[in-house]
A and B are shown apart, each in its own frame.
Chain A
C-alpha cells in the first residue's frame, strides 16, 4: 500500500472573513491531483461545512487532508467547547449559531447532515470542555 498525500491547515477561530481559505486550498490540491470533479465537489462541501463549524462553534483548530489511492479523508479537529448531544447536533434544523452568523446566511443547522450526506464514511467525536473531531471519508473507487 502506498503512502497518502497529506496536507494540514491551521484554521484561525477569530477571523470570520477567512472561513473557506483552507477549503479553497483543499479543493485546488484535489484538482491538481486529478480527482474527478463530482468527488472534488463533495469533498469541497465537506471541507467548507467542517471549516465553518471549526470557526463558528469550535474556536478554530486544524484541518487535514489525506489522499489515498482508494479514498479522500478530511478531518477537522478543535479544542473548543465540545458538543453535549451529538444526536441533536446531527438533526437537521438544530443550531446554536449566533445571530451574526445567521445574518451571513448560515446557521440553519444543515451543515453536519450535509457533511454526512456527502461522505461515504463519517465520524463525529466530541467531549464537552475538551473539543470536537470530525472525520469524513470519500471513496475514490466504488467497490
Chain B
C-alpha cells in the first residue's frame, strides 16, 4: 500500500517526507509503545505506529530499517527528531486517532501484520 493511501486512511498530517508518499510502498505494520518489544519483534520494512515521541523512537526505527513512523493520539515529536528523519528521508506522520483505531483501520484497509519472529 502506498504511504499516500495510508495517510488518507489515518487522516494524517505529514511532518517529514511529503514528496515521498507516492514512492514508498508498505505492506505490514507494527504497533507498540514498548521499544524493547519493537527491537525484539518488528521486521524490516514495516511501518511503526506509536504514541511515544522521544528521539529514541527514531533511532529504534532507523536501526531496524523501518520505513515510516506514524505517531498516534496526535502526539507531536520534537524538532530534533524531525531533523534526524529529514537527514535520512524517513517519512514521519501524525494522526489524531488512537493506536487501536489507527491499527484497526490500516488492517481493514489491507495492511497485514507480520508473523512475530524472534529473528
- Interface positions of A (Cβ within 8 A of B): 16-17, 19-20, 23-24, 27, 37, 41-42, 44-45, 47-49, 104-111, 113-114, 117-118
Contact = CB atoms under 8 A, between A and B. Distances in A.
10 contacts: A17-B55, A17-B80, A20-B56, A20-B63, A24-B62, A44-B63, A48-B39, A105-B54, A107-B36, A109-B36
A19 B55 CA distance: 9
A124 B11 CA distance: 47
Nearest to B50: A105
B35 A106 contact: yes
A37 B64 CA distance: 10
Secondary structure at the A interface, as helix, strand, loop or mixed, is helix
A27 to B, nearest CB: 7
Contacts of A114: 36, 39-40
A42 B39 CA distance: 10
* Interface size range on B against A: 20 to 34
B37 A27 contact: no
A44 B55 CA distance: 17
B40 A110 contact: yes
A44 B64 CA distance: 7
Contact of B64 (A41, A106, A109): A41
A48 B63 contact: yes
Nearest to B56: A104
A106 B65 CA distance: 19
Contacts of A17: 55, 80
Contact of B59 (A24, A110, A113, A117): A24
B61 to A, nearest CB: 11
